[in-house]
Amino acid sequence: MGRIEERLKKSIAMTAATTKKVVQKLSENPKSSKYVAAHRHCVICHTPIPIDSDPAHCGAQPCSDKHARQDKSRKRLNLMMYLFPAIAIMLFLLPLFTT
Ligand SMILES: [Zn+2]
């Protein structure tokens, strides 16, 4: 095994151990000081927000704007992912029917 692989394996094991320790420290008891209520984070600024908030941003104007822009570009990308292969298939099939 190469040195990079060995180092990577070691670092993965260390991360796993640290995560396990942190998870064990958190408490399920709401009265405990280490209790963390179920929540999610604003996709833009990562502020904690209620778990059922939809859309997933904190509601501040900059976050709202940025989220709307990201959503629009994501939808456009999704559309293109279907549209371009469809056009490519049409260009491939068109000569077969015109002969
Ligand atoms: Zn935010």
Strand partners, 35: 27
Q: What 3-state DSSP class applies to 25?
A: helix
What pLDDT does residue 5 have?
93
Per-residue pLDDT of the chain (99 residues; tens, 9 = 90+): 688 999 999 999 999 988 888 777 777 888 888 888 889 999 999 999 999 888 889 989 999 999 999 999 999 999 999 999 999 999 999 998 876
Going from the Cα of 53 to the center of ligand 1, the distance in angstroms, rounded, reads 12
Of 70, 38, 65, the C-alpha closest to 53 is 38
Q: What is the pTM of this model?
A: 0.55
SS3 39: coil
Q: Ligand 1 center to residue 82 CA distance, Å?
A: 31
Distance 64 CA to ligand 1 centre (A): 7
CA distances from 59 to 11, 51, 54, 74 (A): 38, 14, 10, 20
- Nearest of 66, 37, 67, 65 to residue 54 by alpha carbon: 67
Rounded to the nearest angstrom, the distance between the alpha carbon of 36 and the centre of ligand 1 is 20
Per-residue model confidence (pLDDT) at position 69: 95
Please give the pLDDT value at position 1. Answer: 61
Q: Which two tokens stand for residue 50?
A: 């209620």
